[in-house]
Amino acid sequence: MDFELTEEQKMVQDMARRFAETEVKPKAAELDATHRHPKEIVEKLAELKMLGIAVPEEYGGGGMDYVSYVLSLIEISKACASTGVIMSVNNSLYCFPVYHYGTEEQKKKYLSPVASGEKLGCYGLTEAGAGSDPAGMRTTAVKDGEGWVLNGEKKFITNGNVASYAVVAAVTDKGKGYKGISSFIVDLANTPGFKVGRVEEKMGILASGTSELVFEDARLPADSLLGVQGEGFKQMLTTLDGGRIGIASQAIGIGRSVLEEAVAYAKTREQFGKTIGSFQAIQWKLADMATELDAAELLTLRAAWLEDHKKPYEKEAAMAKMYASDAAMRAAVEGVQVLGGYGYCREYPMERHMRDAKICQIYEGTNEIMRLVIARNLLKGL
């Protein structure tokens, strides 16, 4: 068993860390306060090939592996969770399915602009009545001549208000249940009948836009169908497995920032004539944070390694996402406690970390669903 990173992985991690510390972290509080999309940061992420890290260079990506993706996403999320999820969705939820299920023509047309970072992508799955249960999906795509007509509304779509392209799930055969769901690549900027709906006001990740995608008789060309008709549900499951590795990485980044700030505060804050870091009650909080975050990172790196080596990783991705997001939330709650009143005030970033951490337990599969996925894998054959 080898825990040593390759030289290339170390280089990517160091590059991401330097960029996060110098370009991202100084702007995080302002981005949170203004809810502003970090356009200038996203452009620099594109220059660093971080928006399509695991996509081959021939399609505009970085040509790296998923372990490198995890390492870099942790660093970016440690500096700004909003920027982290923008990067995660672009890589995991858009680039992954288009690369793995798209034709050569689709990759050149729809993948290269997004993997290179020239444009952003998003993933249209969730609806008001179809979150954890995609069988409740009401968005439909009907064949019309050479193309398709898309109708429906997608909700809670990360990057939805700034994306140029989307992979959208829709029902193409209502009588076939899950087997009647297909995936489509939509050029949002050039699709009549599409509009951005409500942009949500949220608790956290405030610089990351979350919006509705509204399709009203939106006409799609023939080449918009991704893969085989009726296999959208299978594509969705595989795509979300990779996406959960991204969210686990985001959660670890948030948790690392919490731990770093809690340790720094414990070393300097004095009560009863000594620093609070000398009290066992505080030491135990820090010890638990550090242990859980290390365990979360190892789980996440294992899932990424399995993906790199083309081995099954559904269970491992679910474990990583569930454990990392729970660990980040526990760390954030305790981090606020370590800082006391200051942790509850916006003068310190700790309260932002607590707001940002919560969503990691919810999106790309709630942690309740993650436990079902893990159990299903354990009980196969029964």
**Positions marked active-site:** 364
- CB environment 193-219: b (16+ within 10 A), e (fewer): ebebbeeeebebbbbbbbbbbbbeebb
- Cα gap 286→262, rounded to integer Å: 8
Q: Which residue has the tokens 């948030």?
A: 254
- Cα gap 250→88, rounded to integer Å: 8
Task: Return the HEC string of the chain.
Answer: CCCCCCHHHHHHHHHHHHHHHHHHHHHHHHHHHHCCCCHHHHHHHHHCCCCCCCCCHHHCCCCCCHHHHHHHHHHHHHHCHHHHHHHHHHHHHHHHHHHHHCCHHHHHHHHHHHHCCCCCEEEECCECCECCCHHHCCCEEEEECCEEEEEEEEEEEECCCCCCEEEEEEECCHHHHHHHEEEEEEEHHHCCCEEEEEECCCCCCCCCCEEEEEEEEEEECHHHEECCCCCHHHHHHHHHHHHHHHHHHHHHHHHHHHHHHHHHHHHHCEECCEEHHHCHHHHHHHHHHHHHHHHHHHHHHHHHHHHHCCCCCHHHHHHHHHHHHHHHHHHHHHHHHHHHHHHHCCCCCHHHHHHHHHHCCCCCCCHHHHHHHHHHHHCCCC
Helix 280-308 × helix 232-268 angle, to 10°: 150
